[in-house]
Structure 1
Amino acid sequence: MARLVSTALVKGLVRSCRASSTAAVVSRPAIQQFMNYSSSLGRAPNANGESTTRVAADPDTHQDFQPTSKSSGMSLHDIVAQDIKEKPVLIYMKGYPDSPRCGFSALAVKVLQQYGVPISARDILSDLKLKESVKAHTNWPTFPQIFIKGEFVGGSDIILNMHQKGELKDLLSDIAQKGEQNGGS
């Protein structure tokens, strides 16, 4: 029974990744149909008095469980530019490398892990404004988006193709060597 549920969940995640940029229509469980919570969007101080920005999420989710992002004074455009500049291998993805929430993101991580390079990542599902900022930066509509040595490479299909042709090995070789030197010290 557990295996059937797991298989159904994985298939659902892959299908949701293939959906267009508009939200896929998903039927809600019966319990959620009867639970209507209102959510307030905008700025609100948290327990520490810091200002947080509420990001629109699932309208059926109570406001306490909606994602928030702390204001750091930097614009999202600056944060994206800094990430790209500072991280040798960066992936903007659905989820995180240890728990991808999309089959395409999982594929990209799996390919990059073959080279033993440190992978930095940001979850675009937890901050929808970040997602839009990354899309504007690259002019690329889909995720994951992979950057290597400050350059936008593409998505999982491009990374897989580069891996199959041996191009990715050449591109990542110096990063992998640095990782081995730092790990052995």
Structure 2
Amino acid sequence: MKHNFTLSSSILISIIFVAFSLYFSITNATNIIPKTCKKISNIDSDVKYNFCIWAFGRKNPNAINTIEQLGYTSFELAISKGMSTKSKIENILKDPQLDPRKIRVLKLFVEQYSDALVDLKGGLKALELKDYLEANNRASSATISALTCKNDSKAKRRIPAFVGENDDFFQLNSISIFITNMLFEMDGRRSLDEKR
């Protein structure tokens, strides 16, 4: 009988431990996204807090427990948005009735998005290798491509539907830059602590 009590106690303790671990991992996941989005939107006026929350909510937010996972997700979201926007632009270019003035602008945008996607994919690989500086440089390059499209006043007049798409892409790249900066700083502090 005493043996069963001990077995039951250890099972109960294990269940409680698992429940607390699960609770804290869910709490951490649900807190890391809003906290990080708030930091980003407070520092970078181009990133809207609600957009940041919405973007990360599209992925499985319960699977995001660390800043590093947030970094991977931000790059994946930016790549996905870049690919879908580039595809939409290419489909618009297939229209035989398209205004020739729009064709030139849209071809430039396809080129910019192609370059940005190469940078983002390279940034994701750098992130996987924990080369946060390179990941940050790649996200910054992708942002410059998005900024080129964002600042094109002719595009805003001729292709107004594209403006929102590009703005979302720009914000996702800005989020990736901010997160890779955080990771770079955290890694630097870790390195300093290890030297002490």
| Shared fold per TM-score greater than 0.5 | no
Query: Whose radius of gyration is greater, 1 or 2?
Result: 2
Q: Report the TM-score range of the alignment, normalised by the length of the smaller protein.
A: under 0.3
What TM-score does the superposition give when structure 2 sets the normalisation length?
0.24
From the two aligned structures, give the one with the greater strand fraction. Answer: 1
What TM-score does the superposition give when structure 1 sets the normalisation length?
0.25
**Higher RCO structure, 1 or 2 (CA under 8 Å, sep 6+):** 2
From the two aligned structures, give the one with the greater helix fraction. Answer: 2
